[in-house]
Amino acid sequence: MAPHWKCGSGQPVAGSNPALSATTPGALEAKPCVAGCAAPLTHIRVRSRRMLAGAFALAPFAPSRRLMPRLPEITPIEYGTFRFPDPALARRRGVVVGYAIRHRGGVFLFDTGLGFGNAELEETYHPEARRVEEALAGAGFAIDDVTAIANCHLHADHAGQNLAFPGVPIYVQAAEWELAHTTDHTILEWVDFPGATYLPLTGDHEPFDGFRIIATPGHTKGHQSLAVQTDHGLVVLAGQAVYTLDEWVGNADELEGRSGAPDRDAYDRSLERLRGLEPRHVYFGHDRRSWTRSGS
Protein backbone atom coordinates (compact mmCIF):
# COMPACT_ATOMS: atom_id res chain seq x y z
CA MET A 1 0.00 0.00 0.00
CA ALA A 2 1.19 3.44 -0.77
CA PRO A 3 0.86 6.25 1.73
CA HIS A 4 -2.14 8.50 1.49
CA TRP A 5 -0.96 11.70 3.11
CA LYS A 6 -4.33 12.60 4.44
CA CYS A 7 -4.24 14.92 7.34
CA GLY A 8 -7.11 15.56 9.66
CA SER A 9 -5.75 18.68 11.23
CA GLY A 10 -5.53 20.98 8.22
CA GLN A 11 -7.67 24.02 8.86
CA PRO A 12 -8.78 26.33 6.08
CA VAL A 13 -7.10 29.69 6.09
CA ALA A 14 -9.46 32.34 7.34
CA GLY A 15 -11.04 34.67 4.83
CA SER A 16 -11.33 34.35 1.11
CA ASN A 17 -8.95 32.35 -0.92
CA PRO A 18 -6.37 34.74 -2.36
CA ALA A 19 -4.94 32.18 -4.69
CA LEU A 20 -7.62 31.89 -7.30
CA SER A 21 -7.76 35.63 -7.73
CA ALA A 22 -4.19 35.07 -8.92
CA THR A 23 -2.44 38.35 -8.97
CA THR A 24 -0.04 37.41 -11.68
CA PRO A 25 3.61 38.23 -11.12
CA GLY A 26 5.28 40.86 -13.20
CA ALA A 27 6.75 38.69 -15.86
CA LEU A 28 3.75 37.33 -17.70
CA GLU A 29 2.76 37.77 -21.28
CA ALA A 30 -0.16 36.50 -23.30
CA LYS A 31 0.28 33.30 -25.24
CA PRO A 32 -2.33 31.25 -27.09
CA CYS A 33 -2.98 27.93 -25.45
CA VAL A 34 -1.67 25.22 -27.74
CA ALA A 35 -3.26 22.50 -25.64
CA GLY A 36 -6.78 23.73 -26.21
CA CYS A 37 -7.38 23.83 -22.51
CA ALA A 38 -10.30 25.83 -21.21
CA ALA A 39 -8.74 27.11 -18.01
CA PRO A 40 -9.10 30.86 -17.88
CA LEU A 41 -5.77 31.67 -16.30
CA THR A 42 -3.55 29.34 -18.21
CA HIS A 43 -2.92 31.16 -21.43
CA ILE A 44 0.23 32.77 -20.28
CA ARG A 45 3.88 32.49 -20.84
CA VAL A 46 6.29 33.15 -18.03
CA ARG A 47 9.40 35.12 -18.67
CA SER A 48 12.11 34.85 -16.09
CA ARG A 49 13.36 37.74 -14.03
CA ARG A 50 16.72 36.96 -15.53
CA MET A 51 15.38 37.43 -19.06
CA LEU A 52 13.86 40.75 -18.12
CA ALA A 53 17.04 41.88 -16.43
CA GLY A 54 18.97 40.86 -19.50
CA ALA A 55 16.90 43.20 -21.65
CA PHE A 56 18.42 46.17 -19.82
CA ALA A 57 21.92 44.89 -19.45
CA LEU A 58 24.95 46.19 -21.26
CA ALA A 59 26.57 43.79 -23.67
CA PRO A 60 27.38 40.90 -21.37
CA PHE A 61 30.38 38.71 -21.26
CA ALA A 62 29.33 35.76 -23.38
CA PRO A 63 30.54 32.43 -22.06
CA SER A 64 31.61 29.83 -24.55
CA ARG A 65 28.72 27.75 -25.83
CA ARG A 66 30.77 24.69 -24.98
CA LEU A 67 30.46 25.61 -21.28
CA MET A 68 26.71 26.09 -21.37
CA PRO A 69 24.54 23.16 -20.24
CA ARG A 70 22.21 21.70 -22.83
CA LEU A 71 18.74 22.92 -21.99
CA PRO A 72 16.34 21.92 -20.67
CA GLU A 73 18.38 20.26 -17.95
CA ILE A 74 16.52 18.12 -15.38
CA THR A 75 17.92 17.75 -11.85
CA PRO A 76 16.40 15.54 -9.11
CA ILE A 77 15.80 17.35 -5.81
CA GLU A 78 15.52 15.00 -2.86
CA TYR A 79 13.20 16.47 -0.24
CA GLY A 80 13.44 13.80 2.41
CA THR A 81 12.32 10.41 3.61
CA PHE A 82 9.47 9.05 5.72
CA ARG A 83 8.26 5.90 7.44
CA PHE A 84 5.30 4.00 6.01
CA PRO A 85 2.48 3.57 8.52
CA ASP A 86 1.63 0.20 6.94
CA PRO A 87 3.37 -2.48 9.08
CA ALA A 88 3.98 -4.54 5.94
CA LEU A 89 6.34 -1.79 4.77
CA ALA A 90 8.06 -1.21 8.11
CA ARG A 91 11.44 -2.39 6.83
CA ARG A 92 11.40 0.22 4.05
CA ARG A 93 11.57 3.98 4.10
CA GLY A 94 9.86 6.16 1.57
CA VAL A 95 11.56 8.96 -0.32
CA VAL A 96 10.16 12.18 -1.77
CA VAL A 97 11.79 13.52 -4.94
CA GLY A 98 11.01 16.66 -6.91
CA TYR A 99 12.73 18.01 -9.99
CA ALA A 100 14.23 21.32 -11.07
CA ILE A 101 14.23 21.90 -14.80
CA ARG A 102 16.53 24.64 -16.03
CA HIS A 103 15.29 25.97 -19.35
CA ARG A 104 15.70 29.13 -21.39
CA GLY A 105 12.96 30.89 -19.41
CA GLY A 106 14.30 30.12 -15.94
CA VAL A 107 13.92 27.19 -13.55
CA PHE A 108 10.68 25.20 -13.45
CA LEU A 109 10.19 23.28 -10.20
CA PHE A 110 8.10 20.12 -10.21
CA ASP A 111 6.90 19.67 -6.60
CA THR A 112 8.05 21.47 -3.46
CA GLY A 113 8.41 18.56 -1.04
CA LEU A 114 7.34 17.79 2.51
CA GLY A 115 6.09 20.50 4.78
CA PHE A 116 7.12 21.12 8.37
CA GLY A 117 5.45 21.42 11.73
CA ASN A 118 2.30 19.32 11.51
CA ALA A 119 2.14 17.09 14.58
CA GLU A 120 -0.21 14.48 13.12
CA LEU A 121 1.84 14.04 9.98
CA GLU A 122 5.05 13.76 11.97
CA GLU A 123 3.57 11.21 14.33
CA THR A 124 2.23 9.12 11.44
CA TYR A 125 5.08 9.32 8.95
CA HIS A 126 8.17 10.33 10.97
CA PRO A 127 9.48 12.43 8.10
CA GLU A 128 13.06 13.56 7.82
CA ALA A 129 12.54 16.51 5.53
CA ARG A 130 14.80 19.11 3.97
CA ARG A 131 13.90 22.74 3.53
CA VAL A 132 13.37 23.51 -0.12
CA GLU A 133 16.03 26.24 0.01
CA GLU A 134 18.56 23.74 1.30
CA ALA A 135 17.52 21.02 -1.14
CA LEU A 136 17.77 23.41 -4.09
CA ALA A 137 21.10 24.82 -2.91
CA GLY A 138 22.48 21.30 -2.65
CA ALA A 139 21.74 20.89 -6.33
CA GLY A 140 23.20 24.28 -7.32
CA PHE A 141 20.03 26.37 -7.43
CA ALA A 142 18.95 29.45 -5.50
CA ILE A 143 15.33 29.67 -4.45
CA ASP A 144 14.99 32.89 -6.44
CA ASP A 145 15.96 31.00 -9.58
CA VAL A 146 12.53 29.34 -9.57
CA THR A 147 10.20 31.12 -12.00
CA ALA A 148 7.32 28.63 -12.18
CA ILE A 149 6.12 25.52 -10.35
CA ALA A 150 3.79 22.59 -10.90
CA ASN A 151 2.58 20.24 -8.18
CA CYS A 152 1.83 16.72 -9.36
CA HIS A 153 -0.92 16.91 -6.75
CA LEU A 154 -1.61 18.78 -3.52
CA HIS A 155 -0.85 16.13 -0.92
CA ALA A 156 1.45 17.33 1.82
CA ASP A 157 4.53 15.51 0.54
CA HIS A 158 4.41 17.21 -2.88
CA ALA A 159 3.04 20.68 -2.13
CA GLY A 160 4.29 21.00 1.45
CA GLN A 161 6.60 23.93 0.79
CA ASN A 162 4.62 25.86 -1.80
CA LEU A 163 4.47 28.64 0.77
CA ALA A 164 8.17 29.31 0.17
CA PHE A 165 7.22 30.72 -3.23
CA PRO A 166 4.88 33.72 -2.89
CA GLY A 167 4.26 35.33 -6.26
CA VAL A 168 5.61 32.40 -8.25
CA PRO A 169 2.98 30.88 -10.57
CA ILE A 170 1.99 27.34 -9.54
CA TYR A 171 0.22 25.12 -12.05
CA VAL A 172 -2.33 22.77 -10.53
CA GLN A 173 -5.36 20.96 -11.90
CA ALA A 174 -8.63 22.67 -11.00
CA ALA A 175 -10.00 19.28 -9.93
CA GLU A 176 -7.15 18.93 -7.45
CA TRP A 177 -7.72 22.42 -6.14
CA GLU A 178 -11.37 21.68 -5.55
CA LEU A 179 -10.53 18.40 -3.82
CA ALA A 180 -8.11 20.17 -1.51
CA HIS A 181 -10.68 22.78 -0.56
CA THR A 182 -13.73 20.58 -0.16
CA THR A 183 -12.37 17.39 1.45
CA ASP A 184 -9.82 16.28 4.01
CA HIS A 185 -7.15 16.05 1.33
CA THR A 186 -4.09 17.93 2.49
CA ILE A 187 -2.74 20.42 5.01
CA LEU A 188 -4.38 23.56 3.72
CA GLU A 189 -2.18 26.06 5.53
CA TRP A 190 0.70 24.77 3.39
CA VAL A 191 -1.35 25.32 0.23
CA ASP A 192 -3.10 28.62 0.98
CA PHE A 193 -0.64 31.35 1.91
CA PRO A 194 -0.16 35.08 1.31
CA GLY A 195 1.00 35.65 -2.26
CA ALA A 196 -0.10 32.22 -3.48
CA THR A 197 -0.46 32.39 -7.27
CA TYR A 198 -2.16 29.23 -8.46
CA LEU A 199 -2.95 28.76 -12.14
CA PRO A 200 -5.76 26.20 -12.35
CA LEU A 201 -5.70 23.88 -15.35
CA THR A 202 -8.36 21.71 -16.87
CA GLY A 203 -6.54 18.88 -18.53
CA ASP A 204 -3.32 19.17 -20.51
CA HIS A 205 -1.47 22.40 -20.94
CA GLU A 206 1.76 23.60 -22.54
CA PRO A 207 3.22 26.38 -20.34
CA PHE A 208 6.41 26.70 -22.39
CA ASP A 209 7.66 25.38 -25.68
CA GLY A 210 8.67 21.78 -25.15
CA PHE A 211 6.89 21.46 -21.80
CA ARG A 212 3.55 19.70 -21.50
CA ILE A 213 1.62 19.24 -18.29
CA ILE A 214 -0.44 16.07 -18.68
CA ALA A 215 -3.51 15.26 -16.61
CA THR A 216 -2.94 11.82 -15.06
CA PRO A 217 -5.78 11.19 -12.60
CA GLY A 218 -5.83 8.06 -10.49
CA HIS A 219 -3.80 8.55 -7.33
CA THR A 220 -5.90 11.68 -6.96
CA LYS A 221 -8.60 13.14 -9.16
CA GLY A 222 -6.41 16.08 -10.15
CA HIS A 223 -3.02 14.42 -10.48
CA GLN A 224 -0.77 15.67 -13.27
CA SER A 225 2.59 14.70 -14.76
CA LEU A 226 5.07 16.64 -16.89
CA ALA A 227 6.63 15.75 -20.22
CA VAL A 228 9.70 17.68 -21.36
CA GLN A 229 11.25 17.53 -24.80
CA THR A 230 15.04 17.45 -24.52
CA ASP A 231 17.96 16.96 -26.88
CA HIS A 232 18.05 13.39 -25.60
CA GLY A 233 14.39 12.71 -26.31
CA LEU A 234 11.14 12.98 -24.39
CA VAL A 235 11.49 12.90 -20.61
CA VAL A 236 8.47 12.20 -18.37
CA LEU A 237 8.25 13.32 -14.76
CA ALA A 238 5.52 10.97 -13.63
CA GLY A 239 5.03 12.35 -10.12
CA GLN A 240 2.88 9.79 -8.31
CA ALA A 241 0.97 8.63 -11.39
CA VAL A 242 3.07 5.53 -10.78
CA TYR A 243 4.91 4.85 -7.53
CA THR A 244 8.20 3.25 -8.51
CA LEU A 245 10.32 2.24 -11.45
CA ASP A 246 9.27 -1.37 -10.80
CA GLU A 247 5.61 -0.48 -11.10
CA TRP A 248 6.37 1.45 -14.29
CA VAL A 249 7.84 -1.64 -15.93
CA GLY A 250 4.97 -3.83 -14.68
CA ASN A 251 6.99 -5.60 -12.00
CA ALA A 252 5.77 -3.94 -8.80
CA ASP A 253 6.53 -5.41 -5.40
CA GLU A 254 4.61 -4.46 -2.25
CA LEU A 255 5.55 -0.82 -2.83
CA GLU A 256 3.06 0.22 -5.48
CA GLY A 257 0.40 2.84 -5.97
CA ARG A 258 -2.37 1.10 -7.85
CA SER A 259 -4.04 -0.83 -5.04
CA GLY A 260 -4.41 2.30 -2.92
CA ALA A 261 -5.62 4.53 -5.73
CA PRO A 262 -9.18 5.79 -5.25
CA ASP A 263 -9.79 5.37 -8.99
CA ARG A 264 -7.88 2.36 -10.31
CA ASP A 265 -9.34 2.57 -13.80
CA ALA A 266 -8.15 6.15 -14.11
CA TYR A 267 -4.80 5.10 -12.65
CA ASP A 268 -4.43 2.41 -15.31
CA ARG A 269 -5.47 4.75 -18.10
CA SER A 270 -3.06 7.44 -16.97
CA LEU A 271 -0.18 4.98 -16.74
CA GLU A 272 -0.93 3.63 -20.19
CA ARG A 273 -1.09 7.15 -21.52
CA LEU A 274 2.36 7.95 -20.14
CA ARG A 275 3.75 4.70 -21.54
CA GLY A 276 2.13 5.55 -24.88
CA LEU A 277 4.26 8.68 -25.09
CA GLU A 278 7.22 6.32 -25.52
CA PRO A 279 9.49 8.46 -23.38
CA ARG A 280 13.22 8.05 -23.47
CA HIS A 281 13.52 8.61 -19.75
CA VAL A 282 11.10 8.59 -16.78
CA TYR A 283 11.52 10.05 -13.29
CA PHE A 284 9.31 9.31 -10.29
CA GLY A 285 8.08 11.22 -7.24
CA HIS A 286 8.78 8.38 -4.80
CA ASP A 287 11.80 6.61 -6.28
CA ARG A 288 15.38 7.83 -6.52
CA ARG A 289 15.89 5.60 -9.49
CA SER A 290 14.89 6.62 -12.98
CA TRP A 291 14.05 4.52 -16.00
CA THR A 292 15.74 4.75 -19.38
CA ARG A 293 14.41 3.05 -22.48
CA SER A 294 16.62 0.14 -23.38
CA GLY A 295 18.83 0.85 -26.34
CA SER A 296 18.93 4.55 -25.44
Q: Give the interface with Zn ion as residue ranges (CB under 5 A).
A: 5, 155, 157, 240
CB 101 → Zn ion: shortest distance, Å? 19
CB 182 → Zn ion: shortest distance, Å? 17
Q: What is the DSSP letter of 162?
A: G
C-beta separation of 72 from 119 below 8 A: no
CB 178 → Zn ion: shortest distance, Å? 16
Cβ distance to Zn ion smaller for residue 21 or 259: 259
Cβ distance to Zn ion smaller for residue 48 or 240: 240
CB 2 → Zn ion: shortest distance, Å? 7
Cβ distance to Zn ion smaller for residue 41 or 241: 241
Before 127, cis peptide (omega within 30)?
no
Beta strands in the chain (DSSP E): 28-30, 44-46, 73-83, 93-103, 106-110, 128-129, 146-150, 169-173, 197-201, 211-215, 224-230, 233-237, 281-283, 291-292
Greatest extent of the chain over all pairs of C-alpha atoms, in Å: 61
d(CA 212, CA 274): 12
d(CA 125, CA 70): 38
CB 276 → Zn ion: shortest distance, Å? 23
Cβ distance to Zn ion smaller for residue 47 or 185: 185
Handedness of CA 108, 113, 116, 118 (dihedral sign): positive
Cβ distance to Zn ion smaller for residue 145 or 178: 178
Cβ distance to Zn ion smaller for residue 5 or 208: 5
Closest residue to Zn ion, judged by C-beta, is 155
C-beta separation of 214 from 238 below 8 A: no
CB 155 → Zn ion: shortest distance, Å? 3
Cβ distance to Zn ion smaller for residue 114 or 235: 114
CB 219 → Zn ion: shortest distance, Å? 6
Cβ distance to Zn ion smaller for residue 47 or 158: 158
Rg (CA), the chain: 18
CB 138 → Zn ion: shortest distance, Å? 21
Q: In what order do the strands lie in the sheet with 93-103?
A: 128-129, 73-83, 93-103, 106-110, 146-150, 169-173, 197-201
C-beta separation of 22 from 197 below 8 A: yes
d(CA 83, CA 90): 7
